[in-house]
Amino acid sequence: MTKKNRLLVPLLTLGVFSILNTEMGITGIVPHIARYYNVPLTRAGLLVSAFALVVAFAGPTMPLLFSRINRKTVMLLATGAFAFSTLAAVFAPNFTFLLLIRILPAVFHPVYVSLAMTVAATSVPIEESQKAIARVFMGVSAGSLLGVPVSNFLANHLSLQAAMTFFAAINIIVFLATIFLVPSLPAEKGLSYGEQLRLLTRKTIWISIISVLLLNGAVFGFNAYLSDFLDTVSHLHVNLISLLLLGIGAANIVGNGLAGQLLAKIPKRLLISLPLVLIADYILLFLFGGAALPAIILLLIFGVLAGIEGNVNQYLIYNVGGDAPDFANGLFLAAANLGVTLGTSFCGFFIRSGKGTAFALLGSIIMFALGFLAILIRQAWVSKQKEKAGAETE
- List pLDDT tens digits, range 72-127: 888 899 889 999 988 998 898 898 898 888 888 888 888 888 777 667 666 666 65
Distance CA 257, CA 280 (A): 22
Tell me the mean pLDDT in the region 150-175. 86
What residue ranges define each of the domains in the chain, with the CATH number in brackets?
Answer: 1-180 (1.20.1250.20), 198-385 (1.20.1250.20)
DSSP string, 151-216: HHHHHHHT-HHHHHHHHHHHHHHHHHHHHHHPPP----PPPPHHHHHGGGG-HHHHHHHHHHHHHH
**Under DSSP, is residue 59 helix (H, G, I), strand (E, B) or coil?**
coil
Residue-wise pLDDT tens digits, 232-245: 888 888 778 878 88
Give the pLDDT band of residue 208 (cuts 50, 70, 90): very high
Distance CA 117, CA 136 (A): 7
Give the pLDDT band of residue 206 (cuts 50, 70, 90): very high
DSSP string, 258-271: HHHHHHHH-HHHHH
Range with lowest mean pLDDT among 144-148, 247-251, 314-318? 144-148
Residue 237 CB partners (closer than 8 Å, separation 6+): none
Residue 198 CB partners (closer than 8 Å, separation 6+): 324
Distance CA 200, CA 350 (A): 33
Residue-wise pLDDT tens digits, 269-308: 999 999 999 999 999 999 998 888 999 999 999 988 988 8
Instruction: Name the nearest CA neighbour of 132 among 124, 144, 141.
Output: 124
Between 288 and 256, the higher pLDDT residue: 288
DSSP code for 45:
T
Cβ–Cβ under 8 Å, residues 332 and 212: yes
Supply φ then ψ for residue 39, to 5 degrees: -125, 155
Between 382 and 138, the higher pLDDT residue: 382
Cβ–Cβ under 8 Å, residues 81 and 105: yes
Q: Decide if pLDDT at 309 tops 90.
A: no
Tell me the mean pLDDT in the region 156-182. 87
Q: Decide if pLDDT at 64 tops 80.
A: no
Average pLDDT of the chain to the nearest whole number: 81
| pLDDT for the residue numbered 70 | 83
Give the pLDDT band of residue 394 (cuts 50, 70, 90): very low
Range with lowest mean pLDDT among 39-43, 79-83, 130-134, 194-198? 130-134
Between 10 and 101, the higher pLDDT residue: 101
Instruction: Name the nearest CA neighbour of 105 among 125, 86, 126, 131.
Output: 86
